[in-house]
Amino acid sequence: MPAEPLVCVRDLSVVFGNSIHAVNGVDLDLAAGEVLGVLGESGSGKSVTLRALLRILPARARMGGSIRVDGRDVLAMAEGEIEDYRGGVVSMIFQEPMLAFDPVFTIGDQIAESVVRHRGVGRAAARARALEMLEHVRIPNARRRLDAYPHEMSGGMRQRAMIALALACGPKLLLADEPTTALDATVQIQILLLLRELQRELGMSVIFVTHDVGVACEVADRIAVMYAGRIVETGAVGDVMRTPRHPYTSGLLSSIVRGELKGQRIEAIPGSPPDLARLPPGCSFEPRCRHARPDCRDGFPAARTLDGGRVVRCVLET
Amino acid sequence: MILEARELRKHFRVKGGGTVHAVDDVSFSVEKGETLGIVGESGCGKSTTARLLMHLIEPDAGAVLLEGRRIGSAQGAMPLREARSRMQMVFQDSFASLNPRLTNEASIAFGPMVHGVPASRAIERARSLLDRVGLEPARFGGRYPHELSGGQRQRVNIARALALEPRIVILDEAVSALDKSVEAQVLNLLLELKSELGLTYIFISHDLSVVRYMSDRVMVMYLGKIAEIGPVDSIYGRTAHPYTKALLSAMPSMDPSKRTEAPPLAGDPPSPIDPAPGCRFRTRCGYAEGACEHTDPPLGAAGEMHHVACLMRLPGSGHSKAAAHAG
């Protein structure tokens, strides 16, 4: 029997309040050392899925299904256990580094605090580890930066410092929620390449959530495309880019503006994503889909595995 | 020439000392019916330039000429009120630019009513504009901004900008906050409106692909200055400025088998507070030499209608890659 993957999510659902169905049955496997790009637009449930994995959703979110990471049942963890899990086994980096840092403590103190908590070492050793991490993410004058406050750093440097904080205790899984979206183009590519390098070097698994197909192409081994709280297509990044099988994936790829298409109309997907409080009973993409047919409304299509490990949820593939 | 910026300058004092050189002696012109794209990273001055063109902020120096007339309060100048009926703007934040207490049709009708159009006619026109931007007037006219999606709100903003029948529309990151599938719809709409109404666009964006798709000419800005300006095919095909080259190669690859191997630039864009003399890009430029520290490169010819501010392209500049003598 093959070993259990590092991450194993089954039928995950997240409902906010009584009616906002943000995640509606997500299945997801991730092997050790693998990088999964989760691609989706706003409201697709990609960030909520990521936050569910770290169990940092607000109390009013009701979760269903199961999440197993590193052989442990995440949804069943008690408070003390979850604190060991966060930062020790799984870490997260955000679009806005100020979410990860407390503005009144120095960068060095915050990284050291996390190392003391998870590794049980003394202050001096923890500070040495913090310095090592800042050097690792290539912050110039790292020793001096240990005593800097978050607001004293530029956007790109803060992002590097946040990566140092996230990786300081050697997590097996890094969750990245649009970490380069707010950065300037010339800084974004530096951070993407740094993450790619650190991932290879440390051999950790990464789930990288983004709305940007180009970003996913730069970092991911596999891509999962989300729409209205479900993964509609998964596959190797090259396969999905070359031959998208779900109509939403192909619509998304063809609506990306490429400069060389000048003078031609962009093939946009008509309409807008569904209201998560009023999801249609069948396929949630059916109202915008050019291949829609009557049986699309009967229920959400089951996942079907195709050649090369591609998984698609569409009646066209059944 | 429908619009001209002449040596526009805007500096901001910062608390605690220093001056942000947001826009420094920037000159360019826009031809009737064309789309001028403006690209650059944060702090490059692209949004300040747009606000100066609209006179939403007063320039410290320089002038904006609309249809040959200087905009402003001087004698013989075109009054702001008149200029703004000919030039309108759409902003990135679709929510902040609509009054939350006005219905969509009232927002669209507001400008024309201020300009003296009777209410009933203004509302009637607002409804036909809603229809034109793809929002059913009966369904959307009476709704409030918070009842719409981001894409729908940006359509309302476009309708609002068109209500005064402007000749020029400045689009400042107008599609940047939208999801890709919605962005494509709005770009299609903008192109249709342009050819239908004979509009002139100034299209500001950080997205090089979108700018290439939309623009006839492109202006690249860096730290308050023009780095390069020219026809879209020259800027993307015969790129002359090292900064533009870096921007283009920083774009993520859309082909996972051809990933980016090395970042073209290190570090963040420097602060626009009190920039050092000489070329502003020299602190990140791989070709910087002594000459770049002393001479602020002027815009010089790089091809047909194509101008670049780089000493390497300026004969006699003293840069080792420049031709030795002028002429």
Taking contacts as CB-CB distances below 8 angstroms, the residues of chain B near A268 are 181-182, 184-185, 188
On the question of pLDDT at B327 being above 80, the answer is: no
Residue B226: what pLDDT?
A: 98
Q: Is residue A27 part of a domain?
A: no
List alpha helices for A62-122, DSSP H: 79-88, 107-119
On the question of pLDDT at A2 being above 80, the answer is no
Of A187, A189, A217, the CB nearest to B255: A217
| Tens of pLDDT, residues B42-80 | 889 999 999 999 999 999 999 999 999 999 888 889 999
How many domains, in total, are found in chain B?
A: 2
A95 part of a folded domain: no
Rounded to whole angstroms, the maximal C-alpha distance in chain A is: 67
* Number of domains within chain A: 2
Nearest CA among B228, B182, B191 for reference residue B208: B228
Q: Which of A114, A137, A170 corresponds to the end of one domain?
A: A170
- DSSP label at B97? T
3-state secondary structure of B125: helix
- Does residue A19 fall inside a structural domain? no
Q: Note down the domain range covering A160.
A: 103-170
B199, exposed or middle or buried, with CB in 10 Å at 0-12, 13-18, 19+?
A: buried
Q: How far is CA A280 from the centre of its chain?
A: 26
Task: Classify residue B264: in a domain, yes or no.
Answer: no
3-state class (DSSP) for residue B288? coil
Q: Given A211, A258, A273, which is nearest B209 (Cβ)?
A: A258
Question: B200: Cβ–Cβ under 8 A, 6 or more apart, which residues?
Answer: B2, B3, B30, B31, B32, B33, B34, B35, B167, B168, B169
The answer as to whether B151 is a domain residue is yes
Q: Which two structure tokens, joined as six digits, stand for B87?
A: 């030039």
B196, B221, B246 - which closes a domain: B221
Give mean pLDDT, residues B295-299.
95
pLDDT surpasses 80 at A3:
no
- DSSP secondary structure string, B144-200? -GGGS-HHHHHHHHHHHHHTT--SEEEEESTTTTS-HHHHHHHHHHHHHHHHHHT-E
CATH of residue A306's domain is 3.40.50.300
- Asked if residue A1 has pLDDT above 90, the reply is no
Task: Give the integer Cα–Cα distance in Å for A31 and A173.
Answer: 10
What's the whole-number mean pLDDT along residues A285-312? 94
Q: Write out the residue range of the structural domain in which residue B299 sits.
A: 276-327
For A186, the closest of B151, B207, B246 (CB atoms) is: B246
For B243, the closest chain A residue by CA position comes to: A186
Mean pLDDT of chain B: 95
- Identity (one letter) of the amino acid at A309? G
With CA atoms as reference, report the closest residue to A14 among A76, A60, A79, A68. A60
Distance of CA B64 to the CA centre of its chain: 15
Instruction: Give the pLDDT band of residue A318 (cuts 50, 70, 90).
Output: confident
Is residue B196 located within the same domain as residue B283?
no
Percent of all residues in chain A with a pLDDT value above 70, rounded to a whole number: 99
* B196 vs B173: CA distance, rounded Å: 22
B216, pLDDT greater than 60? yes
Residue where a domain terminates, one of A155, A170, A185: A170
Task: Report the DSSP pairing between strands A90-93 and A7-16.
Answer: unpaired
- Pick from B209, A28, A161: which is nearest to A37 by CA? A28
Question: In this complex, is the C-beta atom of A275 within 8 Å of any C-beta atom belonging to chain B?
Answer: no
B252-267 pLDDT tens trace: 999 999 999 999 999 8
Q: Which residues in chain B touch residue A261, judged by CB atoms under 8 angstroms apart?
A: 213
Whether residue B33 is contained in a domain is answered as yes
pLDDT at position B74:
85
Out of B182, B213, B262, the one facing A272 most closely (by C-beta) is B182
pLDDT tens digits for range A105-127:
999 999 999 999 999 999 999 99
Which residue among A151, A170, A189 closes a domain? A170
Asked whether the predicted pLDDT for residue B277 surpasses 60, the reply is yes
**Per-position DSSP letters for A150-209, written without gaps between them:** GGGS-HHHHHHHHHHHHHTT--SEEEEESTTTTS-HHHHHHHHHHHHHHHHHHT-EEEEE
Which amino acid is located at A168 in the chain?
A: A
B256 vs A213: CA distance, rounded Å: 10
Chain A contact for B194, CB < 8 A? no
**Taking CB atoms and an 8 Å limit, are B268 and A157 in contact across chains?**
yes
What is the count of residue pairs from A and B with beta carbons less than 8 Å apart?
A: 129
Verify that A183 and A111 share a domain, yes or no.
no
Give the domain-ending residue among B198, B221, B244.
Answer: B221
Beta-carbon contacts of residue B175 (< 8 Å; ≥ 6 apart) = B154, B183, B186, B187, B205, B210
- Residue-wise pLDDT tens digits, A260-279: 788 889 988 998 889 999 99
Q: What is the mean pLDDT of chain A?
A: 94
d(CA A199, CA A194) in angstroms, rounded, equals 8
132-151 in B: which are within 8 Å (CB) of A? 149-151
Q: What is the pLDDT of residue A249?
A: 97
Burial of B73 (0-12, 13-18, 19+ CB in 10 A): exposed
Q: Are B208 and B248 in contact (CB under 8 A)?
A: yes
Residue B242 is predicted with a pLDDT of 97
What is the average pLDDT across A88-95? 95
Do residues A179 and A45 share a domain? yes
Instruction: Please answer yes or no on whether B268 and A156 come within 8 Å at the CB atom.
Output: yes
Question: Contact B228/B235 with Cβ under 8 angstroms?
Answer: yes
